[in-house]
Amino acid sequence: MDLLDTLTAKGLRGEVPTREEALAVLATTDDELLDVVAAAGKVRRRWFGRRVKLNYLVNLKSGLCPEDCSYCSQRLGSKAEILKYTWLKPDQAADAARAGVAGGAKRVCLVASGRGPTDRDIDRVTDTMAAIKEADPEVEICVCLGLLSDNQAERLKAAGADAYNHNLNTSENTYGTITKTHTYADRVDTVQKAHGAGLSACSGLIAGMGESDEDLVDVVFALRELGSDSVPVNFLIPFEGTPLAKEWNLTPQRCLRILAMVRFVNPDTEVRIAGGREVHLRSMQPLGLHIANSIFLGDYLTSEGQAGQADLDMIKDAGFEVEGAGEATLPRHRSDLAEAAQAAQAAHAGGCGTAASACGSGGGCGPCGGHAHPEAAPVATAASVGESEASEEGEELRSDLVKVRRRGAGTELAPNA
C-alpha cells in the first residue's frame, strides 16, 4: 500500500499518521499534487461532508501592539500603513459582526491586538459579546485577546464565549527566532487556560516564515496533542514594514501540500484556511476546499480578502455548501469528548478553586472591525503596502497581492462580507 493509500485509510478511521508519513506529504512532487488533494479530500468528506464553515473577523483594536512578532503588521515598530485605532464600542463591533452573519458566517471572531487583556478589557469584550448575542443569539463567538491571566478565561466563558483563539504559529524549536517578547510556553499556557475553562481551543500555525518541513510537522503534531478543535492554517502575508516582508516562500502547490498534511494529522478536526489564502493560493483556492472545511469570509484583521460574495460563489461553484447555524461542525464523537473533558475540568476547578490546565497554544485569530472610532488614528492614504522590490533570489516581491484593509471596522466604509 503506497503512502496516500495508507494516509487515506488511517484518516477514514480517525487515526494519526507517523511523523515520517506527514513529512512525506510535504515532499511529494507537483505531478502527485492532485492525488494528494484527492486523498485528503476523501478524509475531509468522511468527517465533514461537503460543508464549509464560514467565520468572520472583527478587529476590536488595531495596531498599537507592544509585542515584537516578526510576521505581524501590528507589531511594535511596524512601519506597515495599517489602520490604527483603540477599542471599538460594543454597538460598533456588533454592527460589524452583524454584517458577517448576514453574509453566512456561523462564527464571529473578536480580536484585539496587544500582549493580553486587562480586567477592564475583559469587561469591554463581555459587553461586546452581549450586544452581538442580543442581535444573533445562535452565533458562535471566538475571542482572541493574547495571553490570558488567571480567571480571565472563566469570565469569558461565563459571558457567553464559545472558543478562544491563540495560535502556536511555529515549532517550539524555532519560536524564539520570530518573537522575543514572549515564549512558546506562554502560548501553550494560554491555550491550557482557555481549555481548562471549558472554551473550545482554536489554535493554528503560520506557514511561509522560512521554516523547515520538520518545523511544520512539529507544530501540527503539537496542536494535535494540545487538543485543538479548530486549526487555522495561515499563510504568511509579507507586509512591507515588517521583518518578514521579503519572505515570499510559498507557491499554491506548497500551500495545498501543507493543508493536506494538516488534514491527515487532524482528520476529524476543523481545518480552516485562514490569512493569506488569496495571496498564496490565488486561483487554486477552490482546491483548498477539498481539504479544509472552514474559511474566513471577507476581510482579515489588517488586510483585505476577496469580496465576500466571491467567497460564496467559490464555495457553490466547487460543489460545496455553507454550513448552517444549526449544524454541528465537529463529528459527534469529537463533540462528546470535548463536553466530557470540559465537565471534568469544571469539576476539578470547583474542587480546588482554580481552573485546571488541559492543552495549549497562542496568537491571533486567523492572520493575528464597525464604524469610525472616535479615538481612531488618522488613516494612511496608501491602498497597498509599499512598492515591489527584489528579493535575494532576484524574484519580485508580490506586494501587489497584499492590500491593507481600509473598510469595515474602524472606518466609515461598509465591511466586506
Cβ-count burial 211-247 (b if 16+ within 10 Å, e if not): bebebbbbbbbbbbebbbbbbbbbbbbbbbebbbbbb
Based on the residue annotation, tell me whether 51 is a catalytic residue of this protein.
Answer: no
Residue 102 has φ and ψ, to the nearest 5°, of: -65, -30
Q: Which of 72, 144, 359, 365 is catalytic?
A: 72
Based on the residue annotation, tell me whether 144 is a catalytic residue of this protein.
Answer: no
- Residue 18 domain-assigned? no
CA of residue 401 relative to chain centroid, distance: 20
- Residue 163 domain-assigned? yes
- Single-letter amino acid code for the residue at 99: A
Q: Which of 142, 144, 359, 365 is catalytic?
A: 142
- Residue 366 domain-assigned? no
Between CA 216 and CA 208 the distance in angstroms is 10
Q: Which of 44, 75, 98, 109 is catalytic?
A: 109
Residue 90 belongs to a domain with what CATH number? 3.20.20.70
Rounded to 5°, angle at Cα 314 from 297 and 28: 95
- Residue 32 domain-assigned? no
Secondary-structure breakdown of the chain: helix, strand, coil percentages, each rounded to the nearest 5: 40, 15, 50
- Residue 25 domain-assigned? no
Q: Which of 44, 75, 202, 406 is catalytic?
A: 202
How many residues are there in the chain?
417
Based on the residue annotation, tell me whether 359 is a catalytic residue of this protein.
Answer: no
Q: What is the phi-psi region of residue 225: left when phi exceeds 0, alpha when psi lies from -120 to 50, beta otherwise? A: alpha
- Residue 29 domain-assigned? no
Residue 83 has φ and ψ, to the nearest 5°, of: -65, 140
Q: What is the pLDDT of residue 342?
A: 58
Q: How far is CA 94 from CA 47, 118, 158, in A?
A: 32, 21, 19
Are 221 and 266 contacting, i.e. CB atoms less than 8 angstroms apart?
no
Q: Which of 69, 144, 365, 368 is catalytic?
A: 69
Per the confidence metrics, is the pTM higher than 0.85?
yes
CB atoms within 10 A of CB 118: 12
Q: What is the pLDDT of residue 391?
A: 37
Between CA 110 and CA 122 the distance in angstroms is 12
* Domain count within the chain: 1
Q: What is the pLDDT of residue 398?
A: 60
Based on the residue annotation, tell me whether 72 is a catalytic residue of this protein.
Answer: yes
- Single-letter amino acid code for the residue at 407: R
CA of residue 74 relative to chain centroid, distance: 16
Burial tier of 24 (Cβ tally within 10 Å: 0-12, 13-18, 19+): middle
Between CA 211 and CA 366 the distance in angstroms is 19
Pairing of strands 163-165, 140-144: parallel
Q: What is the pLDDT of residue 283?
A: 96
State which residues form the domain around 125: 41-352
Based on the residue annotation, tell me whether 69 is a catalytic residue of this protein.
Answer: yes
| Cα atoms in the 13 Å half-sphere on the side-chain side of 60 | 29
Q: What is the pLDDT of residue 337?
A: 66
- Residue 167 domain-assigned? yes
Based on the residue annotation, tell me whether 65 is a catalytic residue of this protein.
Answer: yes
Mean pLDDT by 10 residues, the chain (417 residues): 93 98 98 98 98 97 89 84 90 95 97 94 97 94 97 97 97 95 96 95 97 98 96 95 92 98 98 96 97 96 92 98 93 76 54 32 36 33 32 49 88 89
Q: Which of 98, 107, 257, 272 is catalytic?
A: 272
Based on the residue annotation, tell me whether 368 is a catalytic residue of this protein.
Answer: no
Q: Which of 44, 51, 65, 334 is catalytic?
A: 65
